[in-house]
Every structure is written in structure tokens, then in C-alpha cells.
A and B are shown apart, each in its own frame.
Chain A
Amino acid sequence: MEDAALVHACQTCDRDAQRELYERHVDCIYRLAFRITRNEQDAFDVTQQTFIRAFEHISSFDQRSTIRTWLYRIGTNEALQLVRRRGTERRHLSVLEHGLRDSAPASGTDHLDLEEAMLRLSDDHHAILMLRYKEGLDYQEIATVLEVNAGTVASRLNRARGDLRRLLAENSALSVEETTSKNHPTDTKDVSRQCKK
């Protein structure tokens, strides 16, 4: 069944159709939620809430965007609201945990460097980079998801990439310092990584 026909069936509260729509899109929504919240329990809650809201309000879905973009929009909103409600508390915690990690590579765009830098970005910048580079959305789709115009997407992405680049530079400067000063205790046993599996 096409997405459009599926949506139509969902509008009549057809449970099989709801399940099918869920199965088709749950992976994307969960991963997006996980990337924005950086936490499995939060990703679970956001995904659940996204689909509940979607099913409750599917009659207002007007096919102007694809159902995937619509779900992304609800999911991004739910996830961003949750991280904003939490404030910076969790972010600091995550940065701290990642900060305990041993043997940071001294240079290059290593994935761990990158993740650490991503954790320090603002929620908005983090989210827009996720939508672009992890979810592969184009500017128009991101504009729809974030409810801004395409020009704003371009400038926000520029700022987000700029921040990321700056943080990466700071990180690698820090790593060089760390490796040159031998007096740096690292405890690798107690590292609990909330944000990574």
C-alpha cells in the first residue's frame, strides 16, 4: 500500500493500517529522537508520543508534505521540547561522561571527537545537523520539519557547522595538551555512556 492510502486507512482508525504506518517509520523516528535526546528512555518516550499524537491528529494531515516529513516534524518538536524542558542538565552530564573517556586521538575528525563536539552544540544546532547529515533531509524538508523558511535553514546550518568546526578545533587543541602532559588520570572502568550503545 502507498503511504497515502495507508494514511487514509489510518484516518478511519484502522488498527492494521496504524501498525503498518508505525512499522514503516518507527526506526527513523526513534533514531532521530535518540539523536536529539541522546538517551534511550527519552527516545522511547518521544517515539511513543510522536505516534500517539500522529494517530490522534492524522485527520489534520493534509498531504502537503509527505507523511515521513510530518512525522519528523512531530518527532523533532517532541524531542526538542523534552530536551529544552530538561535544560542543560543532561547535556552537562553527557559531556562529563564523555570527558572521562580515555585516549582521545590527537587530531583528525575522529568519530569520538565529533560526538563530543556534537554534545556541546546547542539543541537547535545539534538537531539541524542531525536532520541534514543523519536523516539526509534536504533544505526544503528541513524547513518543513522546523517550520522555518529555506533561507533560515541555510544560515542556521552555516552557524551550526561553524560552531562544530570551532569545537572540534578546541577539542584537538585540548587533546594535544592532554597527551603532552603525562599527568592526566583517566579511569576507563567507570565510564558509563548514556548516549552510546
Chain B
Amino acid sequence: MTCKDALEKIGPLLDSELDAPARAELEQHLASCTECDTACESLRGITSALSDGPDRVTVPRDEIWRKIEQHLDTDSPATVRPIGSRPVRLFSLRPLASAAVVLAAIGLGWLFVSAPWSSAAYAGQIDFRPLLEQADGDIKAGIDALIDVHGGRAITRPEAADLMRIRIDSPANLPPGLSLQSLYLLNLGGDHRALGFHYHGPQGHLLLLQCPPDVEQNLAGHECLPCRIGTNEGHVARIGSLRLAHFGSDNVCVCVVSTLDEMKELPAALNAVKIDF
């Protein structure tokens, strides 16, 4: 074992995170190497000081609870919904489609399935695993693989409009310096399809997927957390540099795949997109 290896393992040793063989090997090195042993003792001092540090906060339990209860009283139970049906603010809202538009949509895209959305089987499935394999690698390749696994192909806007109703109004350019690269049509199983809008710029990638509401998502076991991006509430899985968020209404689920900064760039980009919910 080299000193470099040893120094890397001292932390895990002190944290009791080494398995027995690794531990024995490191202890053997420490017994014979004064420098690493000194480093180990110094780190032990720091970490134990960290653990023992003074902790003099008083938790205002009752005050916080009162605030929480106030919120629960005004909002519940409407905000407590099963995952997948969250009529929340979608980017910049556009007024609800007129009856004529809704009629026009019948027979197109997923809307022609008149079954209730409560059954996930009706909403198709989107498998993000090929993309997630590239979460810390080549995002463009990941997006291509995602399109591929869903039998996707690049289409023109008129073609998209012809095949299914476009709910995402996507300008050619979005902040920060993103431009629309391609429009894709994906198959989600059954009669269900999704439209993909791929943007790219110096800051990274943004893929917007217009999916049926309650679309089933395979995130390879990554858990989704409640999130707020800009003014939109939804769920997000954070995997490497990737943000995989989804925002849903009764009519559409918009999946957002992005490498943009979650605090500034992504809200700005989403704010410039209009969704017909």
C-alpha cells in the first residue's frame, strides 16, 4: 500500500467504513509509516472535535408547528395527492384550451383513449435508464439512446402537429442561450406517444418531453423528491449533473431533462416555455 492510498483510506477508517481486509492492510501501513500515522491522529482529532462541538440551539418547536398547522389547515387535503396527479402550475400557464381545441384533439395523440388516467397502463411508460447511464458522461449520447429505446425519430413541427396535438409552445431560442435542435416523436407503448423538444447551448442540454398525464417513469430506482423550480411544483430526481423533473396537470405531464443550473438557468428557461395544460 502506498502512502497516497493510505491517506485516502484514513477517513473511511475513522468513520468505520472499511471492511476487515482493507482495515487490516491500512493498520499495517500505519504501524510502519510515521507520516501516515501522524496524519491519521491529526484527522482523528479534527473529526472528534467536529462530533463533540458545542450544540446550543433551542428548537422553537411550538412556533414552527403553529406555522405548519396553519399551512395544513388552509391547503389540505387538496394538496395531498398521490404521485402522478398533481395539477400544479406548469411553467407559464396559458388559459385552458377551448372546447373546440379539445374536440380537435380527440382522435389525436393519447387523448383518444377515453379511459380514466388512474390506470397507469393507459398512460404509457417512459424508460429513462439509457439516459441515466450517461448521467455523468455524454448527455447527448444519453438523449439519443433515450429517443432510440422508444423507437423515436426526428420529425418536423407540421408533422408533429399532424400526428398529435402540441401542448408545448417551444420558441426557437430559450435563455440561457439555448436553441432548439430537434423535435422527436417517441412511442411509449400502446397508442401513447410523447413529443420531445431538444435544446442545446453552451450551458448544457434541455429536453422537454410532452407526455400523457400519469405516464409511468422508470428512473432505475432513483427516487423523486418534491421540488420547486421557478414557480412550478413537481418532482425531481437529481442524478449526477442531470436533473430529471416532472410537472403534471390533469392533461399533460411535462418531463424535463436538464443539465442546467437548477436555481437560475433552468427556471429562466422553463419560464420562457408555454404549456397548454
A residues within 8 Å of B by Cβ?
13, 15, 18-19, 22-23, 26-27, 30-31, 34, 40, 43-44, 47-48, 51-53, 55-60, 62, 64-65, 73-74, 77, 81, 84-85, 109, 111, 114-115, 129, 132-134, 136, 138-139, 147, 154, 157-158, 161, 164-165, 168, 196-197
Contact = CB atoms under 8 A, between A and B. Distances in A.
B238 A147 contact: yes
Nearest to A111: B53
Given A26-B61, A31-B55, A114-B50, A81 B263 contact: yes
Contacts of A84: 263
Contact of B12 (A48, A59, A154): A154
B58 A197 contact: yes
Interface string B58-80: 11110111011101100111011
Given A60-B224, A133-B47, A139-B17, A158 B76 contact: no
Interface in B247-272: 262-263
A139 B9 CA distance: 14
A31 to B, nearest CB: 6
Q: Is the interface of A mostly helix, strand, loop or mixed?
A: helix
Interface string B38-66: 00001101110111011111111101110
Contact of A15 (B8, B59, B63, B72): B72
Nearest to A110: B49
Contacts of A196: 56
Contacts of B222: 147
Given A132-B15, A134-B51, A161 B80 contact: no
B43 A161 contact: yes
Contact of A165 (B17, B42, B227): B42
A13 B67 contact: no
A55 B49 CA distance: 36
7 contacts: A19-B65, A55-B80, A56-B75, A56-B76, A114-B49, A133-B51, A161-B11
Given A44-B64, A114-B49, A158-B8, 19 more contacts: A13-B77, A18-B72, A26-B64, A47-B64, A48-B64, A48-B71, A57-B235, A59-B81, A65-B223, A111-B49, A133-B47, A134-B51, A139-B17, A147-B225, A161-B46, A161-B47, A164-B46, A196-B56, A197-B56
B59 A109 contact: no
B46 A114 contact: yes
Contact of B53 (A65, A114, A136, A139): A114
Lowest 6 A-B CB distances belong to which pairs?
Answer: A133-B50, A60-B83, A57-B226, A30-B59, A109-B49, A133-B51
B158 interface: no
B239 interface: yes
A30 B64 contact: yes
A22 B226 contact: no
B270 to A, nearest CB: 16
B233 to A, nearest CB: 9
Contacts of A62: 223
B237 interface: yes
B180 to A, nearest CB: 29
Most-contacted residue by chain A among B59, B65, B223, B224 (CB, 10 A): B59
Contact of A85 (B16, B42, B224, B263): B263
